[in-house]
A and B are shown apart, each in its own frame.
Chain A
Amino acid sequence: MKKVKINTVINNRTYEFSVAPNQTLLRFLREELGLTGTKCGCEIGECGACTVLLDGEAVNSCLVLVPQIDGKEVLTVEGLAKDSKLHPLQESFMDHDAVHCGFCTPGMLMSAKALLDKNPDPDEKEIRTAISGNLCRCTGYVQIVEAINDASEKIKE
Chain B
Amino acid sequence: MKPFEYKAVHSVEEAVSVLAEYGSDARILAGGTDLLIELRKQNVKTPKVVIDISFIKELRSIESPNGTIVLRPLVTHSEIVTSKVIQQYASLLMSAASVIGSPQIRNKGTVGGNIMNAATCADTVPPLIALGAKITLRSKANSRQIDLSDLFVKPYQTKAQAEELLTEINFLKLSPNAKSSFIKLGRRNALAISRLSVAAILTQDKNGKITDARIVPGAALPVWRRVTEAEKLLIGEKPSKELFVTAGQKVSEVMISHTGRRWSTEYKEPVIAVLVRRALEACL
Contact = CB atoms under 8 A, between A and B. Distances in A.
Contacts of B40: 43
Contacts of A4: 6, 8
Contact of B37 (A54, A57, A63, A71): A63
B103 A132 contact: yes
Given A1-B3, A23-B1, A43-B40, A67 B104 contact: no
Interface in B18-40: 29, 31-33, 36-37, 39-40
A46 B32 contact: no
Contacts of B105: 45, 60, 63, 133
A22 B190 contact: no
Given A22-B2, A63-B37, A45 B8 contact: no
Given A2-B5, A44-B190, A133 B37 contact: no
Contacts of B101: 45, 133
Contact of A68 (B3, B39, B52): B52
Nearest to A2: B5
Interface of A: 1-2, 4, 20-24, 43-46, 48, 51, 54, 57-60, 62-65, 67-68, 70-71, 111, 114, 129-130, 132-134
Nearest to A51: B104
Contacts of A58: 103-104, 107
A64 B32 contact: yes
Contacts of B29: 65, 68
Contact of B190 (A45, A54, A57, A64): A45
B4 A45 contact: no
B104 A59 contact: yes
A74 B3 CA distance: 24
The 7 closest A-B pairs by CB, nearest first: A133-B102, A21-B6, A1-B3, A22-B1, A44-B190, A57-B107, A133-B104
A59 B107 contact: yes
B92 interface: no
Contacts of A24: 1, 36
Contact of B104 (A1, A22, A45, A68): A45
Given A21-B6, A22-B1, A45 B107 contact: no
Given A45-B37, A65-B50, A21 B4 contact: yes
A111 B104 contact: yes
B108 A22 contact: no
A67 B103 CA distance: 22
5 contacts: A44-B190, A57-B107, A60-B104, A70-B8, A111-B103
B37 to A, nearest CB: 5
A64 B35 CA distance: 10
A65 B103 contact: no
Contacts of A45: 33, 37, 101-102, 104-105, 190
A65 B52 CA distance: 10
Contacts of A20: 3
A63 B103 contact: no
Nearest to B29: A65
Interface in B218-242: none
Interface in B183-212: 189-191
Contacts of B103: 58, 111, 114, 129-130, 132-133
B149 interface: no
B108 A64 contact: yes
A67 B53 CA distance: 12
B261 to A, nearest CB: 32
Nearest to A44: B190
Contacts of B4: 1, 21-22
Nearest to A115: B103
B36 A65 contact: yes
A15 B52 CA distance: 21
B91 interface: no
Contacts of A132: 102-103
B254 to A, nearest CB: 33
